[in-house]
Amino acid sequence: MELQPGREAVVRVAVATLWTSPEAVRPVDGPALTARADILAWVSGMNTDQQVGDCVLSQLLLGERVLVSELRPDGWARVVAVEQPAAKLDPRGYPGWLPAEQLTSVDPTGTEPPLVVDTTVTGLHAAPGGPVVVPGVVVGTRLVPAGPARDDWRPVHVPGQATPLWLPDDHLAAPPGAAPSAQQALAVAQRLLDVIYIWGGLSAHGIDCSGLVHLAWRRLGVLLPRDADDQAAATTPLTLGAERPGDLYFFARPGRKIHHIGIVTAPPADGGERRMLHACYRRRRVIEEPLPADRTATLVGAHRV
């Protein structure tokens, strides 16, 4: 079934990038626009200024659902990412543009509950130990099993693929049976230390501050909004000093909306030192550090999911 405006579709590439408009893309963005969407090559080809270009809104993972709202003759699709809440932009989800060839119509194949990728980056193979068909699949991606594991490999249904693909069974995990803890989310985020900062990034190839929080909780089956100010609205404020590892710090300048978020990594020290893990715009990577003075000056709250 072809893509149609007003109907849902799913992402068929490992990581698709959501753009502000087709006209906003730059020559350096070419690898992210192809039918295979080579995100690693895209990230590797950018300089530090290009990594923070505001043409990127967010990213979507393999199998993620979108609502198609427009299809252009030049191959672009305007969509709403329904699994990325963005209340201030669209009550249905995060709006933006994707190359239409990175989407496929919804296929109801498979009735088993999905498993979630639990390794930082993996690939989907044509057969156990065979050639890689879909490289660059990242933590937090949900995949529907296509049968039991065989020789430590698991077959999964993959959007846009006629037959199941395979990945090591230990690269997958079942969704949590109980409500996950903040420390579990912190543990997921810690596996992304040193990942490059990409404005709008939402993967282990490149990520931004709110993307790190969204992806860590998504891995555990909890759907948080995509942007930091929406994440603040969706979480519970704490009295500063009561925060514990896995809670969230929010930052804003006087009279401005929240512009940054980090994950608490230690209780506040007696001397007032606070520590966090965050995707740092200035250092252009995910780091864990004590809050510098300028961060402390703009700290406006601690929240709990």
Structure tokens that stand for 22 in this block: 């087709």
Structure tokens that stand for 171 in this block: 């690269």
Residue 36 reports pLDDT greater than 90 = yes
Q: In the structure, what pLDDT confidence band is assigned to residue 110 with cuts at 50, 70 and 90?
A: low
* H-run or E-run covering 255: none
Residue 22 reports pLDDT greater than 90 = yes
Determine the pLDDT at residue 107: 74
Span 204-212, average pLDDT: 97
Give the C-alpha separation, 164 to 275, whole Å. Answer: 44
Order of strands across the sheet that contains 103-105? 56-61, 15-19, 94-99, 76-81, 65-71, 8-11, 103-105
Task: List, in sequence order, the alpha helices (H) in the chain.
Answer: 39-44, 182-190, 209-219, 228-233, 293-298
Number of residues that make up the chain: 305
Residue burial 66-98, b: 16+ Cβ < 10 Å; e: rest: bbbeebeeeebbbbbbebbbbeebbeebbbbbb
Span 45-69, average pLDDT: 95
* Residues 6+ away with beta carbon under 8 Å from 21: 55, 97
Q: In the structure, what pLDDT confidence band is assigned to residue 178 with cuts at 50, 70 and 90?
A: confident
Give the C-alpha separation, 94 to 20, whole Å. Answer: 11
Q: In the structure, what pLDDT confidence band is assigned to residue 271 with cuts at 50, 70 and 90?
A: confident
* Residues 6+ away with beta carbon under 8 Å from 161: 133, 134
What's the chain's average pLDDT?
A: 95
Q: Helix, strand or coil for residue 279?
A: strand
Cβ–Cβ contacts within 10 Å for residue 274, how many?
A: 21
Span 40-44, average pLDDT: 96
Out of 41-50, 122-131, 174-183, least confident range: 174-183
Q: In the structure, what pLDDT confidence band is assigned to residue 272 with cuts at 50, 70 and 90?
A: confident
Q: In the structure, what pLDDT confidence band is assigned to residue 161 with cuts at 50, 70 and 90?
A: very high
Residue 108 reports pLDDT greater than 80 = no
Look up the pTM and report it: 0.95
* H-run or E-run covering 174: none
